[in-house]
Amino acid sequence: MVMEHDLDKVILTEEQIAKRVKELGEIITKDYKGKNLFVIGILRGASVFMSDLIREIKLPLEIDFMAVSSYGVSTKSSGVVRIAKDLDSTIGDKDVLVVEDIVDTGLTLKYIVENLQSRKPASVKICTLLDKPSRRVTDVEVAYNGFTIPDEFVVGYGLDYGEIYRNLPYIGVLKPEIYTK
């Protein structure tokens, strides 16, 4: 693939990701047994992760999606969160699990969680594939974390730069010359 030439290195292989997604699914299945699970994927980045994750959760569940933006085509969060697509369903009295691709500054997720909590769910927890705690500027509690990664610009497995690279089956570090043009 031409896109592979844009990467410095692969930090998480397809196999590593699949193993961890299965583990997360098992933990979530145990934690939500007997609960009214409602999974919300944050578009577009979390769509690949969420698709694999819900197949590993062995419980009845509902799904919906939100689309939010705080990046645009930049590599840094603007801190201004905009809801581009809201939920189609109500979440009152449901146990909500927000599925995100990556937690960086925490600003977007803090906004999403506060917004969802105002709708009176039974609970709201976060599941992320990737966590970059070194970039955090606000506190967000991540209940389920796939991998903690260093402060590098990563793409693949749903994560993009300029809407490209989402279809890579692994996660790699994008060469700086690609996003500093």
Supply the Cα-derived Rg of the chain in whole angstroms: 16
Whether omega before 82 lies within 30 degrees of 0, making that bond cis, reads no
E strand or H helix that includes residue 114: helix 107-117
The yes-or-no answer on residue 101 being catalytic is no
Which DSSP letter does residue 45 get?
T
Cα pseudo-dihedral 48, 53, 55, 61, rounded to 10 = -110
Given the residues 52, 104, 131, 160, select the one marked as catalytic.
104
Structure tokens, 86: 């809201």
Which active-site residues does the annotation give?
104
